Amino acid sequence: MTNTNSVQNVINEVMATRGATVSVFGQPHKIGESVEKGYVDIIEILEGFKGYEVETVLPAQYEVSEDEETGTYSINSESEVIEDGFEYEEDAEERMYELEEENAAPVDVNTYLEYMEELSYLEEGKGDNSYNWAGNVSNHFNMQTYRNINTGEYLVEFKVHLYGDVRGNYTDSVLLKFDQDYFFYEALAEANGYEEYKGYGIRFSAMSEGYEIHHIETDEDMEEKYSWDDVIEYIDGLVEEETSEEV
């Protein structure tokens, strides 16, 4: 049985757009083949999520009915008889549950979530998009969290924006599970970036819009900036000041 809920599928969707020409508001737009400086690669984040996928598999749906002429019971799928000739209803139901598990099938994330919600197994939590805090990430991402009230597990529906209007053009969702919500945020926070430029170090993260700058030799913290261009201009200015003081 193949689980269709896969982080690798999302990675493949993202990678397929890199270097490709797509339509943005009706105009051709070529996406860069590599990630620009100052941005965390969404692929790094996705790689860290591998192994946390939910097994989005649903049992088959059968029912037990009685044959009024023979007084026996059968297991049915809609109008099709799966097995029949059961003398007792309890035996038919027991066998039905076995067959439902044996014939379980993988489904997409949306179908799985709809099924879980119909059974009232999910408590909806926080939803957000990295666009809302201008995260320094190559592709913005959308997330919706849930708690499985039966298992206590923390579920995250995660999808990646590919190009164009942030209100659309996303990958398929992947559904992840964690024992606690902070494990998910730790995984996000671990995917951060660091660059060196003219003796200064620059830290950035998908969870923040700021660029933290420090002098590598003295480890002195400098002003925080909010765009890569501002970072470069700021450091160039610092280096120019240092040079003029040495003269």
Instruction: Report how far residue 91's alpha carbon sits from residue 72's, in angstroms, rounded to the nearest whole number.
Output: 11
Range list of H helices, the chain = 7-17, 42-49, 89-102, 109-118, 181-190, 228-246
Q: Indicate whether 45 and 122 sit together in one domain.
A: yes
Does residue 1 lie within any of the structural domains?
no
Is the domain of 118 the same as that of 224? no
Return d(Cα 69, Cα 183) in angstroms, integer. Answer: 58
44 and 18 share one domain: yes
pLDDT of residue 247: 56
pLDDT for the residue numbered 156: 97
Low-confidence ranges of the chain (pLDDT < 50): none
Please state the domain count of the chain.
3
One domain for residues 166 and 219: no
My answer on whether 163 and 45 are in the same domain is yes
**Of 169, 189, 209, which residue sits at a domain end?**
189
pLDDT in tens, 47-88: 999 999 999 999 999 999 999 999 999 999 987 999 999 999
Q: Tokens 């996303």 correspond to what residue?
A: 170
| Domain range enclosing 147 | 7-56+108-189
Same domain, 124 and 30: yes
pLDDT reported for residue 2: 58
pLDDT confidence of residue 19: 96
Return the pLDDT at 4. 80
217 φ/ψ angles, rounded to the nearest 5 degrees: -70, -45
Please write the tens of the pLDDT for every residue from 12-31: 999 999 999 999 988 999 99
In a shared domain, residues 45 and 115: yes
**Domain co-membership, 70 together with 184:** no
Position 113 scores a pLDDT of 97
Q: Within this chain, do residues 130 and 170 fall inside the same structural domain, yes or no? A: yes
**Token digits of residue 123:** 């408590």
CA dihedral defined by 21, 195, 129, 114, rounded to 10 degrees?
Answer: 80
